[in-house]
Amino acid sequence: MSELHVNVFAMTYTADVSGVCSTMYELGGMTVLHDPSGCNSTYTTHDEPRWYNTKSLMYISGLDEMTAIMGDDSVLVRDVKKAAEDLSPRFITLCGSAIPHLIAFDYKGTAHLIEKATGIPVIPVATDGLKLYTSGIGLALREWMKRFADFSLPHEKDTVNLLGVTPIDFSRMEIVEEMKKALEERGFTVNCCAAMGDSFEKLQEICKASVNLVVSSAGMQPAKMLSAKAGIPFVVGTPIGAAFTDQVAQCLREAQADGKSRYAYDASRFQEKEEGEVLVVGEKCASCSLAQAVDGALGREAAFVLSPDVRDGLDEDALVEKMKKADIVIGDPLLRYGIRDPHTKFIALPHEGYSGRIYRKQIPVFTGDAFDVVTFLEGGRPGGSA
Amino acid sequence: MYRIAIYGKGGIGKSTVTTAISCALSQKGYRVLQVGCDPKADSTLYLHGGERMTSILDILKKKKDLATLDDLVEEGYNGILCAESGGPVPGLGCAGRGIAAAFEALDEREAFSILKPDIVLYDVLGDVVCGGFAMPIREGYADQVYIVTSGENMAIYAAANIATAVANFRERGYATLGGVILNRRNVPDEKEKVETLCQDIQSKIVADLPRDNHIADAEEQKKPVMGLFPDCPYAQAVRGLADYIIQNGVDREDEE
| pLDDT tens digits, one per residue of B28-50 | 999 999 999 998 899 999 999 99
Are A184 and A130 in a shared domain? no
Are A21 and A138 in a shared domain? yes
Residue B253 in this model has a pLDDT that exceeds 90: no
Tell me the per-residue pLDDT of B156-182, one tens digit each, with 9 for 90 and over.
999 999 999 899 888 888 899 999 999
B68 C-beta neighbours (distance < 10 Å), count? 11
Least confident of A51-60, A270-279, A372-381: A51-60
Q: Work out how many domains chain A is built from and give that number.
A: 3
Q: Does the pTM of the predicted model rise above 0.90?
A: no
Q: What is the mean pLDDT of residues A363-385?
A: 82
Q: What is the mean pLDDT of residues B209-237?
A: 96
Q: Which residues of B touch A113 (CB under 8 A)?
A: 171-172
Whole-number average pLDDT of chain A: 89
- Measured CA to CA in angstroms, residue A337 lies from A3, A33, A349, A377 at distances of 23, 34, 14, 19
Q: Which residues of A touch B65 (CB under 8 A)?
A: 311-312
Question: Quick one: pLDDT band at residue B56, thresholds 50, 70, 90?
Answer: very high
Are A342 and A363 in a shared domain? yes
Are A156 and A130 in a shared domain? no
Q: According to the model, what pLDDT value does residue B149 have? A: 97
Q: According to the model, what pLDDT value does residue A4 have? A: 67
Burial label for B220, CB within 10 Å (0-12, 13-18, 19+), is: exposed
Are A124 and A187 in a shared domain? no
Residue A9: inside a domain: no
- The Cα–Cα gap between A10 and B182 comes to 60
Residue A37 in this model has a pLDDT that exceeds 80: no
Are A76 and A140 in a shared domain? yes
What percent of chain A lies above the pLDDT cut of 90? Answer: 62
- A104 three-class SS: coil
Residues 6+ apart with CB under 8 A from B161: B127, B128
Tell me the per-residue pLDDT of A60-78, one tens digit each, with 9 for 90 and over.
888 888 788 778 889 999 9
User: Which of A198, A233, A263 marks a domain boundary?
Assistant: A263
Tell me the per-residue pLDDT of A318-347, one tens digit each, with 9 for 90 and over.
888 889 999 999 999 999 998 988 899 999
Q: Is A109 on the interface with B (CB under 8 A)?
A: yes
Under an 8 A CB cutoff, do A104 and B174 touch?
Answer: no
Q: Measuring CA to CA, which residue among A357, A323, A351, A358 is closest to residue A337?
A: A323
Q: Do A193 and A212 form a contact (C-beta atoms < 8 A)? A: no
Q: Do A324 and A341 form a contact (C-beta atoms < 8 A)? A: yes
What are A303's strand-pairing partners? A278
Nearest residue in chain B measured CA to CA from A117: B171
Residue A385: inside a domain: no
Residue A10: inside a domain: no
Looking at domain B2-247, its CATH architecture is 3-Layer(aba) Sandwich (3.40)
Residue A210: inside a domain: yes
Q: Where are the alpha helices (DSSP H) in chain A?
A: 16-24, 65-70, 74-87, 98-102, 107-118, 133-148, 167-170, 173-184, 200-204, 220-230, 242-258, 267-272, 284-298, 316-324, 352-355, 373-377
Q: According to the model, what pLDDT value does residue A1 have? A: 41
Tell me the per-residue pLDDT of A117-172, one tens digit each, with 9 for 90 and over.
999 999 999 999 888 999 999 999 999 999 999 999 999 999 999 999 988 999 88
Catalytic site residue from B58, B71, B118, B127: B127
Question: Quick one: pLDDT band at residue A380, thresholds 50, 70, 90?
Answer: low
Domain span at residue A132? 16-146
- B4 three-class SS: strand
A356 to chain B, closest Cα gap in Å: 28
Is B64 noted as a catalytic residue in this protein? no
Higher pLDDT, A185 or A353: A185
- B162 three-class SS: helix
Are A162 and A133 in a shared domain? no
Q: Which amino acid is at B237?
A: A
- The Cα–Cα gap between A280 and A295 comes to 12
Residue A41 in this model has a pLDDT that exceeds 80: no
Residue A268: inside a domain: no
Q: Measuring CA to CA, which residue among B132, B133, B151, B118 is closest to residue B21?
A: B118
Q: Do B60 and B97 form a contact (C-beta atoms < 8 A)? A: no
Under an 8 A CB cutoff, do B94 and A312 touch?
Answer: no
A375 C-beta neighbours (distance < 10 Å), count? 14
Residue B210 in this model has a pLDDT that exceeds 90: yes
Under an 8 A CB cutoff, do A116 and B65 touch?
Answer: no
What are A306's strand-pairing partners? A281
Q: Do A168 and A363 form a contact (C-beta atoms < 8 A)? A: no
Question: Quick one: pLDDT band at residue A47, thresholds 50, 70, 90?
Answer: low
- The Cα–Cα gap between A353 and A167 comes to 9
Q: Which residues of B touch A106 (CB under 8 A)?
A: 131, 134, 138, 172
User: Which of A84, A117, A146 marks a domain boundary?
Assistant: A146
Q: According to the model, what pLDDT value does residue A162 have? A: 97
Residues 6+ apart with CB under 8 A from B23: B47, B77, B78, B80, B224, B226, B227, B238
A384 C-beta neighbours (distance < 10 Å), count? 10
Q: Which CATH number covers residue A309?
A: 3.40.50
Q: Measuring CA to CA, which residue among A179, A180, A195, A80 is closest to residue A142?
A: A195
A316 C-beta neighbours (distance < 10 Å), count? 17
The residues in A 303-342 lying below 8 A from B, measured between CB atoms, are 311-312
Q: Is A69 on the interface with B (CB under 8 A)?
A: no
Under an 8 A CB cutoff, do B172 and A102 touch?
Answer: no
Q: Which CATH number covers residue A189?
A: 3.40.50.1980
Q: According to the model, what pLDDT value does residue A385 have? A: 46
Substitution target from B139, B166, B253 for chain A, most A beta carbons within 10 A: B139
Is B9 noted as a catalytic residue in this protein? yes
Are A170 and A257 in a shared domain? yes
Q: According to the model, what pLDDT value does residue B243 have? A: 97
Residue A2: inside a domain: no
Is B191 noted as a catalytic residue in this protein? no
Q: Measuring CA to CA, which residue among A358, A382, A89, A93 is closest to residue A240?
A: A382
Q: Are strands A189-194 and A122-124 parallel, antiparallel or unpaired?
A: unpaired
Question: Quick one: pLDDT band at residue A382, thresholds 50, 70, 90?
Answer: low
Residue A27 in this model has a pLDDT that exceeds 50: yes
Residue A73: inside a domain: yes
Residues found in chain B:
256
Tell me the per-residue pLDDT of B121-157, one tens digit each, with 9 for 90 and over.
999 987 777 788 888 888 878 999 999 999 999 999 9
Whole-number average pLDDT of chain B: 93
Residues found in chain A:
386
